[in-house]
Amino acid sequence: MSALAERGVGGKKTWTYDHERYERRRWFLRGLLENIGFRILAKFDRVEGLEYFPQDGPAILMINHIAFIDPIVVLGVVPRNIVPMAKIEVYRYPVWGIFPRIWHVIPVRRGEVDRRALRMALEVLSAGEVILVAPEGTRGPCLKRGKVGVAYLASRGDAPVIPVAVEGTKGFPSINPVRWRQAGAVVQLGRPFKFHGVSKRPKRDELRKMTDEAMYVLAGMLPETRRGEYADLSQATTETIKFV
């Protein structure tokens, strides 16, 4: 059994989320990250905008994804334990794969609509907890077109989205002294928003518009060289977005 525990109901499988069950081990892992990881493997400079992070209740952290360690850095600096969504392959990484298994990261099958992963994420939100999503579905130096899953989860889970800009993680983890003399990771949280003005069960075109508007918000927090598909901020609209 896991924090996202399977149970049978009328012969069908549903999901229930038990956040408290894994709190102790997650705090232990965070201690290792803060006292060893940020001292030996990855240089962390600062976090900004923590006033936007909710003290309680559900939320979705929406990050840009430059390097492997981006989600790890974010979960290490926010004040509550969060549940990242990550490609299922991370469970198979040598050595590093132990971390998502112990933390109970939500595994996502890329290249398909992973309904199981979406159900698991919605269970976390319904429990009043926070998930982390990289809507591009892959990592790279600049933004790619976002997948609509973030809009689906925000609308179905009635959760605010918090845009999170990550910078300075390229080249880590590393023990190279040259990399350590350069700038380290910076995490910036932006103003939360919720989607509005759309149906309770948005259709594909609505989800696309919601996602693109959310990605433009994130793009506006990034350096111009990181904006990629969302470089032209003059095209940004906020018809489905309400800042909270």
Q: What is the pLDDT of residue 7?
A: 47
Domains of the chain: 26-243 (3.40.1130.10)
Q: Residue 80: how many CA atoms within 13 Å on its side-chain side?
A: 22
Q: For residues 45 and 185, give the distance between their C-alpha atoms in angstroms, rounded to a whole number.
A: 5
Q: What is the pLDDT of residue 191?
A: 98
Q: Give the relative orientation of helices 149-157 and 115-126 as an angle to the nearest 10 degrees.
A: 40
Percentage of residues in the chain having pLDDT higher than 70: 94
Q: What is the pLDDT of residue 96?
A: 76
Q: What is the pLDDT of residue 14?
A: 57
Residues with Cβ < 8 Å from 67, sequence gap 6 or more? Answer: 139, 169, 170, 171, 172
* pLDDT digit string, tens, across residues 33-83: 988 889 888 999 999 999 999 999 999 999 999 998 999 999 999 999 999
Residues 61 and 164: beta-carbon distance below 8 Å = yes
pTM for the predicted model, two decimal places:
0.92
SS3 letters across 120-154: HHHHHHHCCCEEEECCCCCCCCCCCCCCCHHHHHH
List of the chain residues with pLDDT < 70: 1-15
φ/ψ of 160, rounded to 5, equals -70, 150
Q: What is the pLDDT of residue 15?
A: 61
Residues 3 and 104: beta-carbon distance below 8 Å = yes
